[in-house]
Structure formats: C-alpha cells, structure tokens
Structure 1
Amino acid sequence: MRNLLILGAMAFCLCVHVCSDTQSGPQGDTTLPEEDGVLQLKQEHFKRALRKYKQLLVHFCKLHSDLSFKDAAEALMGSEVKLGVVDVTQEKDLVKELNGTSYPMVRLYISGDIHNPVPCPGVKTVLSDRISYFCTNLHRLSHLCFFVQELTNAYSQVFHAAAVDLPDISFALTQNEEVSRKYRLSQDVVLLLRKKLDCRKHFKTSQILSSPVLNHALLFVNKSSADFEEISSAFSSAAENFRMKILFVLVNVAESRNGRLMEYFRVRDFEAPLIRLVNLTDHVTYHLPSDTLNVEVIQEFCQSYLDGKAKPKMQSEPIPEGWDQKPVKELVGMNLEQVAFNPDKTVFVLFYLPYSKASRTLFPLWEELAEAFRQREDVVIARIDASANDINLSTQGAYPSLCLFPALYTERSHIYIWRKKYLKTEN
C-alpha cells in the first residue's frame, strides 16, 4: 500500500512538472523580434506573426545598414497594420515557400492567409494615405463605386473603413453628377457591378502552372499575323463563359522563350493559329479540329471537353516498314490499339524513351524475351517510343513502363513501372 502511495505521488509530481513545462514554453515564444517597431521576420516565426496580426504588411528586400523603416512603423502606430521585413539574402527558404519572385517586393497578408497576399506598389505608397490607397475617388463611368452626396458623411466613413479591411476588393466613391444621372440615382447608394473579365494579362509560366484551374486552353498564334486581333478577341470572349473551369492562355509562337512549350505540345510555328486543351492531372491533350477560330467554335470545343465528348489528339509516327518482321514488334500510335487489344493474343509492350538510360537497359532483355516466345503465335512482344507517340493509356507519366494486355481480357491491362532494380505493378 505504501509503495502504491509513493508511486502515485511520483506520477502526480511528474504531471505537474510536464504541465508546467508546456505552459511556460509558449509564453516565452509569444514575443517576435522587432527593431524600431518593425518585425524582423524569419521562417521559424512568420506564421506566428500572421496569426497575431490581422494585417501584416511585409517588405521583402535586401537589408543593409542604412536602410531604415522606423518612420514607416511610426506611421502605422495605432492601426491594425503591422510592418515587417524579410531579408531575402538570409531567409531564402522562407522566400521560396512564399513564392517570392522579384525584389524589393511588398505584400499585405490579411487575416493570416498566407496563400493569397495582396501585392502593394510600395510601403511609401500605402503609408502616404492608407484610406486613399484602398478607396479611390471616381470621376469616370468605368469603375465600381459608392454614390454619395457628401464625402464626409457617416456612410462615407463606414465605406472607407470597409475599404481598409478588405484591400483585395476594389472600392471607389463619387459625387460626380454625370455618373449619378447615368444610373438614375438621387440618394446615397452602394452598387456592386460585375466588371468584364480581362483575359489579357501577362503571367509567368510558374504562375500559370500553379493555378487552381487544371484545365488549360492554349491558343498558339503569331502576334504579327494579320488575323491576330480577330482571333485573340474571339478567344478572350469565349473565356468569359468558362471562368474557374478552363484557364485560357495565349502563346505567341514568334516568342523564342515559348520554344519549350511548343516542343512539349509538338506545335510548329507555321501551324499557328491552333488551340490545344490539356488537363494538368493526366496531361492528355485535345486539339480543336477546325480552321475557323471564332467565339462559337471555341466555346463548343471547350464545352464538349467539359462534357467528356471531345476526343484526345493522338500524335503518331508513321508505321515503319517491316514493323512486325522482327521478334520485337515496333509499334506506333497508329497501330498500338489494333495490336494491343487483339483478343486472340497476349501482348506485352515496352513504353520507352530513346534518350533514357533506364529504357536502353531493358532493350537486351526485351530482345531475349521476344526470342523466347518467337514460336508462340498467341504472344506478341513489342515496344513503342513514348516520346514520339501519344498514348491514350495511363502509365503514371513514368518511363520505361511495361504493359501486359492478356488475350480475351485486353481491357484488363497490367502496367509495370520501372524502378531501378525492380518493377512496381499498377493495376
């Protein structure tokens, strides 16, 4: 009994000690390093700063001795905006995680959202007049606005406060009588108008590939061609009906930096204009089968893709002479299905890349296997160049891959993915 009491007391003391440690740890962690009122942000506490401050204005730059943000920090005193700096020369992992692209760069992080910061033109621009930065006076008819008779009334102040709290939304206000007459307004009113989607924005490849929209429609066109304006206008108009469903991308074939992209889609500059549609998940490509590129044709093509009715574009080499005369049959895109899905034969196909060392390693083994089954008319050993032929078959994008099409049950194909010294089966 005495031993049990001692054991219980020890357990209680241990629990108290553990609780004490867990409580004291975070308290020591709550402080964030500051200098002249400016947060010195590092990777280990950046997310904690996001949680602590509703609006975190971050300046990414190369810090040096004569660079001071003291005045900027003082200008933000008493507001919900906290200024912080990231030294891009020291915090390379943090910059990479935040997808930093160019410097100096200023971003405003709202409500702890690390993924959707608001880009700002500069700290001075924001500090010069925070309200006017987020809320613009309107003098033309082409903006969203709060129609108000007095800019200093209580409603205007509420509108300004909302503009500061929601910097990722465009706010504007006006006293312009011409605007009021256009909308037949006689009192203070807020109108939310849907602006026309502007599809002609310039993005880097990394930004396009990181888009949450996985369906991409690519228009390959020469900007110097006579029909460029007409085609690009139709492409932009068609895009409006597929917002958040298909990302429309214009590719200038005359731009040398687009060469890699054209090579990937096997597009040559003299073939433009043409439209390809691809899903970034399975990388299956679809081609618009029409020489006419107007709004109706483009919309019909995109809708047929979303409905699952569009057929993939299958690129194929020409069928080589004597392709079936050797033990290893040489297949191309044109005859792959005809050979592989023959219900009377079991077909074993090697999908290879000619420049791949791992692929070439399998060639002697494949020849040996073909010789072993040479006398079997119901067995076919074949191979196909996956870099030159589109294949409507999921091989998980890994090559070399082996695919067995058993007789009678060819639809039940078995894929084997090469992994160095072993094969991984994909059923």
Structure 2
Amino acid sequence: MRDKSLIILGVVTFCVCVSTAVEEDILQLNNGNFNKALREHSELLVHFYVPMTADVHKVSEAFQEAAAELQGSEVRFAMVDIVKEKDLAKKLNATEPPFIRLYLSGDKHNPVPCPVPKTSSSILTWLKRRAGSPTDIITDNIQSDDLLVVGFFKELNDAYIQVFYEAAIDLPELTFALTQNKDVVSKYDLVDDVILWFRYPLLFCVYYFDIKAKKIKNKNKICILFQTASQILSSPIPNHALLFISKTSPDYEKIYIAFNRSAAAFRLKILFVLVNVDESRNGRLLEYFRVRDFEAPLIRIVNLTDHVTYQLPSLTLDVDTISGFCQDYLNRIAKPKLQSEPVPEGWEQEPVKQLVGSTLEKVAFHPNKTVFVLFYLPYSPQSRAVFPLWEELAEAFEDQEDVVIARMDASANDINMSMHRQYPSFCLFPALYAERVIYTGKHQLKHLVKFVHKEMEKAKKDRVKVNTINSPESVITHFGVLSLLFILCCMFYDCRKMKTEGNTWIP
C-alpha cells in the first residue's frame, strides 16, 4: 500500500512539474501585469484567445509548441484569456483578429500582426523571416518536393527583392526562395525578373515583376491558390471568397479578371479561390457549400471559424460589386445565407404563400393538397418578371382549397432537393406524396392552369390505383391466391415422400 502511495505521489509530482514548465514558457497576462511585461521584454508575442473552442485550441497548441522551441530566446511568449480579461482586450482592441500580435520595444499601440498559424513551424518561420533579410532565402537549390514560390531577378538589389520578401513574411506557410540560377528560367523559356510558383519540376504560375514601379504585378495572386476542398478548409486565412464558375461560360474571362482584380484590396484578409464547377473533383466542394452547377456563376464568402456562409446578392459580377460585397462582409454588414429565413408573419393568409426553408417540406408534401412553388432569386430580373403572373395564378385557384400557390427565395434558404434547371424554377408537388413535377412550359396563365389540372387528374388516377390495391376485396383476393399456392406446395412436398416406380409417381 505504501509503495502505491509513493507511485501516485510521484505521478502527481511529475504532472505538476510538466504543468509548471509549460507555464514558465508562456506568460499569463492580465490587466495588472501587461504593461510590466511590455517593459521587461523587447519582443513580446501575445496570443489573445477564447478558451474551450476547437479552432482556438489548435492555434494555442501551435503557440505553445513554438514557445517551447524558442525558450530562452529574445522573443517572450504570452497569452491573454479575453473572456476573463475583457477590459484589457477591449483596451488593446484585441476582441477581433489578428489574435496573435508581436509587441516591440514596449509599444502597445502598434503591434505587428502575426498570420494565423496552422503549425508551430508557421510561427517560427514568421519570426525568423521578420528578424532576417532577403539574403536568407537566396539559394541555387530549388529542386524540392515542397510547393515553392521562387523569385528570379537579374539583379538582387534591395529595391527588387524587398517587395518579394514582404510577401514571404506575410505567408509563412509557403516556402519562398530567391535565385539567379539561369537553368531554371531557361528550362521554362522565361525572361528575367519573374516569380515562379511550382513544385519541381511542375510549373503552376508565372508572375512578372514591374521594374519601373518596383512591385510585383498582381502579387496578390500568390494568395489565390486553386486548392482542393481539404486544402481550402484547412487554410490559415479564415475568410474565403469562392467564385463558382464554369470555364466554358462565355463570361468566364470577364468575370475572372474582375474577381482577380478585386483580390488585390483584400490581400491577407480574404483568400480568393476559383472553383471550376465542370471539374468532377470539385463535386465534394459543391456539395459542402450546397451549390448546384447550373447556379454558377456565383460568389460565396465563408468564415472557417464559425462556418457561416454569405452569398453575393447580384447577378452582376464586376470589380465594384465584388469588392463592395467583400467590404460589407468585413464590416459585418453582409447578411448571412441561412438554412431558413424567419417565417413571415401572416404568410398563410396571403394568396401566394411565402415559404422558407423551415416550412417548405410541411407545405409542399401535404398529402391532400397540390402545391405549386416558384423558386426564385430576388435580385434576378427574370425571377421578378414572374411575380405578377404568380399572383394571377393564385387568383385563378383561390376557390380551390386543395391547391396552394407558393414561392420561395432560393438564395436565402437551403433547398434539400435536386433542381434540374435555372431559376426561376417551377415545381409542382401533387397530393398523395406523388413525385414532384418540374414545369418547363410557357410563362402564360392558361398554360400554367392547364398544367396544374392535368397533374391533379393524374394524381387522382394514381390514388384510385393505390386505393384498389389496398381495398379489402383486393386483400382477400391476394389471400386466396397465396392460400392456393400454399396448398400446392404442400401437395408437392407430400408427393416427394411417396415411393416411385420408374418415372411415375405412385400414391
């Protein structure tokens, strides 16, 4: 018993020692000791966190591992619980990203924001690049399995390479290199002063350096990685603007240029991603964001921290519209795309019932009502043009209680069913849980009325068939047939037990 007590005491002592070691690596700051820490440490890297959240936990793990790696260095690691230290967080404006900040020489008003890390190596690389210089990434060896961003400049002077190195600091997840190895440029038939993005030997993109302006043309493209679904969902930048488009679309070039130009103003704030809806490998991505290929082109913004999605409410995809949407999102003005809008007050008393995600199934699949639903986009001229016609249709059936004319905003509510054509889309849900029917005829009242009556008659015939199959007489008939089959089987079984002579059965 005494031995067991000693073992338990030893384990507890070990755990306390480990816990103390972790706390020694990282300062726990509050309103009382924050200014003191600033005075004592010339480089103070602070992680402002909300405890007990999965995303923050991953960042905190990376932060703690980096602190252990750099124990004893000039950089001092510290953490602030912004739930407990609300006043301090508000005073430092730390209730919003960036949540990791580097305070230099006691200046608490101008911290350097650290990109959101995926791993501890991201933090270490960021700190190393910040403290270093462009000469640290000059190399002749670029035959690496890593994804590389390589700058090839005729002259390695400060004016050229400083801009490139700034991008390297801001993107610690990527491997950057500077080289004058002419074999690389000649291999890909390129000129001097270019930036290559590739995994050797496969070249993905080429960016040209503007010598006169001393800047990278469209350097934001470095951030526009055409990723798979898993890469997108694990990106260090939490805000993603996704352009869903078909590369065969006649407007592809115009929309892509607008999307690309819009990215410049939101570098390191929003990651711009192009998703080709014609690419079969993007099927899972379309499924995740609940986008149908015929709905493209459209732009969605998703925040990977809370997984809330926002959709650009316009069919016009130019620079001003895209940039305005992104800015509204950052300013928290944009409205999120919900699974269901709130149920409108008094919707059941209106001639045209306004459905939302939470009421669609209840209304459309009513067993005794035929429901005709217009799925529309409020910002689409084609959809709005149908509204008066839909009001007329509701008037035509106002005396028939078993017919419901309804409509639903497809951009603001999730529709958990396959859609076979573009919006506006007309779907009839016949009574008896019959299979829904897509209307593809003319947008004229008489044709719509005729279509509804035709499908109602068909549903009635289907009901007669179902009732006939389930009637008592039908059940008795089926029972009689089954009884006869049972008797025959018994006779056959008894006969097999009888003796035979030759090929003849003998009873």
Task: Point out the structure with the larger helix share.
Answer: 2
Q: TM-score, normalised by structure 2?
A: 0.31
Q: TM-score, normalised by structure 1?
A: 0.36
Q: Please say which structure displays the higher CA radius of gyration.
A: 2
